[in-house]
Amino acid sequence: MIDIHSHILPGVDDGASAMEDAVNMARLALDEGITKIIATPHHQNGMYFNKKQDILKRVKELNNVLQSENISLEVLPGQETRIYGSLLDDFEKGDILTLNHTNYLFVELPSGHVPRYTEQLLFEMQLKGVTPIIVHPERNAEVLKNPEKLLSLVKKGALTQLTAGSLTGHFGKKVQKFSLQLIEANSTHFIASDAHNTSTRNFHMRESISKVHKEFGSQVVYYFQENAELLVQDQSVYRQEPSKIKCKKFLGIF
């Protein structure tokens, strides 16, 4: 299994603090059935700045350590960039890192709202051939209140990624219910751990897959797993038009 979102790189953000923590996270990831993991440190979120070249160097270092410890987890490079006005200028400058050097880029919205310029920025990004993946929309307060905001971005080409822990109820019942509704409404394309450590914010990948299997069956589990595979190979991922009937049903709940 591939986990496309993690904070396993040590000492760069609020994830693994030292190499020892990263190694422990890697061991736990393997226990969860993860064989490849994308390291996606925070960037431009007001606290942390992790530019492309620095991440690439640190991913190499981590892979070397894991190899020397005989831990067969492959770490791929990525970045979790908070949306900001000059993101595309910095992309041109070479500070922004797509997921495993593909044309897919993680975009994090602020937790409380969806900035007005989001739609325009994601549109311009796609004109450059880059597909935005909005990370954990289910934990955004404005999206929870008004899911249409998200659906409109998805209809205009954005992809979305749910957090495994949201599906398992680790972020509360409301977030869990909304996550399931996003799947039902064909409005999400990936499930990933967003793991920060081995305790309070760990992987929950296996548990989330069981939940998806129970609620939607094996085909939907396969869809999410296949999409992660396609992503790291820079191929087109599966997506369906959000269903109007399902959307109405799911919008009606809020």
Residues that bind Fe ion (CB under 5 A): 80, 194
Chain residue whose CB lies nearest Fe ion: 194
Q: How far is the CB of 5 from Fe ion (least distance, A)?
A: 6
Neighbours of 149 (CB within 10 A): 18
Q: How far is the CB of 51 from Fe ion (least distance, A)?
A: 17
For Fe ion, the closer CB: 138 or 194:
194
- Measure the CA–CA gap between 114 and 125, rounded to whole angstroms: 17
**Whole-angstrom distance, CA of residue 121 vs CA of residue 33:** 36
Minimum Å distance from CB 196 to Fe ion? 7
> 3 vs 80, which CB is nearer to Fe ion?
80
Question: Which is closer to Fe ion, CB of 32 or CB of 194?
Answer: 194
In the complex with Fe ion, which residue's Cβ is closer, 232 or 247? 232
d(CA 7, CA 15): 5
From the CB of 119, what's the least distance to Fe ion, in Å? 22
CB of 157 to Fe ion, least distance (A): 22
**Given the complex with Fe ion, which of 184 and 194 has the nearer CB atom?**
194
User: Please, what is the angle between helix 19-31 and helix 52-68, to 10°?
Assistant: 70
Q: Where are the alpha helices (DSSP H) in 128-253?
A: 141-145, 148-155, 164-167, 173-184, 205-216, 218-232, 244-252
Tell me how many helices (H) and strands (E) the chain has.
11, 9
User: In the structure encoding, which two tokens stand for residue 130, read together?
Assistant: 């880059």
